[in-house]
Amino acid sequence: MKFTVGWLKDYLDFSDTSENLCQKLTSIGLEVEYFFDPSLMLKNFIVSKVLDVKKHPNADKLSICKVFNGTENLKIICGASNVKKDLLTVLAPVGTVIKSGSKEEFVIKKSLIRGEESNGMLCSEEELGLGDNSEGIIELDSNYEVGKSYSDCLDDESIEIEIAITPNRVDCAGVYGIARDLSAAGFGTLKEKKYNNVKTTFESNITIKNELKKDDCPKFSLRLIKNVKNNESNHFISKRFSRSGLKKISSLVDITNYVTIDFCRPLHVFDYDKLEGEITLRYSKQGEKFIGLDDIEYTLDDGMIL
């Protein structure tokens, strides 16, 4: 179970350090297996502004950028397609050590790139260790201060924690459950959950046939939502998914996965246009074949819930 400290603070009010948080999690049986605070490794990275962009005379996919780092203008060669004038981004000055993911670390040096001098590197999200996006350099909004260390600009959303969940603690397979357990142990104050009640305005013709015992499935419900555009998820969800090791699929699937991790409330999206009749909840038969959402065929044991 992986989440960010910022996500946890949606439901738990606390001011203690992340280190003490990790110790408390382990002490209540939620063993911390991984902790990552990128600010510790990004102190040399500088919020900088691109003042000018020109095409590299000797390379079609490279640009010559004039970049202000808060104290001086630097000439930087950049291959990102999204580099543009007035963009705020993150600069790795000469001498900075870059280590991202499984790649070997390397040191930024003053160098000649296709005959043009480069005095640093403009960084992608992947190169900063903040996600897997390597398609372009990171784009910052106008709230960032040019010349400031990027590590000082990071918030709790960048701090990642992964805990081990034992089979008897599925109540902590969601961020709210973790917050509730910490609060009960005297670490922080649990915040009240707030919901917006949405009134049903139309009926669904899909019915549910439940062949399961009540203890195995106390409740199964459907909600029909119309006129939805299944586009790419917004930046908020994308950012949390990136930090939590979740893969983006589409906005609808991502929302269900988000709620599953947020409240430990499993959800699934059906395509209403492809459904008719009823949805049956039943037990599997020994040796029954089942194709999952990952397109892998599974052989089921007797009595599994379908």
What is the pLDDT, as a whole number, of residue 179?
97
CA-to-CA dists, residue 143 to 46, 60, 88, 153, angstroms: 14, 33, 10, 10
- What's the 3-state SS for the chain? CEEEHHHHCCCEECCCCHHHHHHHHHHCCCCEEEEECHHHCCCCCEEEEEEEEEECCCCCCCEEEEEECCCCEEEEEECCCCCCCCCEEEEECCCCEECCCCCCCEECCCEEECCEEECCEECECCCCCCCCCCCCECCECCCCCCCCEHHHHCCHHHCEEEECCCCCCHHHCCHHHHHHHHHHCCCCEECCCCCCCCCCCCCCCCEEEECCCCCCCCCCCCCCCCCCCCCCCCHHHHHHHHHHCCCCCCHHHHHHHHHHHHHCCCCCCCCHHHCCCEEEECECCCCCEEECCCCCEEECCCCCEC
Q: Which residues are within 8 A (CB) of 192 and not within 5 positions of it... i.e. 6 or more apart?
A: none
What is the pLDDT, as a whole number, of residue 248?
84
Terminal CA-CA length for the chain: 24
CB half-sphere exposure, 95, CA atoms < 13 A: 3
161 close to 34: Cβ distance less than 8 angstroms: yes
Residues 236-256 pLDDT 10s: 888 888 888 888 888 999 999
Determine the Cα–Cα distance for residues 244 and 236; give it in Å rounded to an integer. Answer: 12
Determine the Cα–Cα distance for residues 103 and 241; give it in Å rounded to an integer. Answer: 21
Residues 175-193 pLDDT 10s: 999 999 999 999 999 998 8
Determine the Cα–Cα distance for residues 106 and 21; give it in Å rounded to an integer. Answer: 32
Residues 188-242 pLDDT 10s: 999 988 878 877 777 788 889 999 999 998 888 888 888 888 888 887 888 888 8
Determine the Cα–Cα distance for residues 151 and 130; give it in Å rounded to an integer. Answer: 12
Q: Domains in the chain and their CATH numbers?
A: 2-37+159-190 (3.30.56.10), 46-153 (2.40.50.140), 197-223+279-306 (no CATH), 225-275 (no CATH)
131 vs 138, more confident: 138
What is the pLDDT, as a whole number, of residue 230?
87
Determine the Cα–Cα distance for residues 64 and 51; give it in Å rounded to an integer. Answer: 11
Average pLDDT over residues 115-124: 95
What is the pLDDT, as a whole number, of residue 114?
93
Structure confidence at residue 103 as a pLDDT band (50, 70, 90) = low
Structure confidence at residue 174 as a pLDDT band (50, 70, 90) = very high
Q: Which of 165, 59, 179 is nearest to 112 (CA)?
A: 59
Mean of per-residue pLDDT scores for the chain: 91
Average pLDDT over residues 86-114: 88
Structure confidence at residue 102 as a pLDDT band (50, 70, 90) = low
What is the pLDDT, as a whole number, of residue 100?
66
Q: Which residues are within 8 A (CB) of 186 and not within 5 positions of it... i.e. 6 or more apart?
A: none
Q: Which of 219, 205, 211, 218 is nearest to 270 (CA)?
A: 205
What is the pLDDT, as a whole number, of residue 265?
85
Determine the Cα–Cα distance for residues 193 and 187; give it in Å rounded to an integer. Answer: 18
Residues 23-76 pLDDT 10s: 999 999 999 999 999 888 899 999 999 999 999 999 999 999 999 999 999 999
Determine the Cα–Cα distance for residues 33 and 162; give it in Å rounded to an integer. Answer: 6
What is the token pair recorded at 60? 């079609």
What is the token pair recorded at 243? 């930090």
Examine the pLDDT at 16 and tell me if it is beyond 90. yes
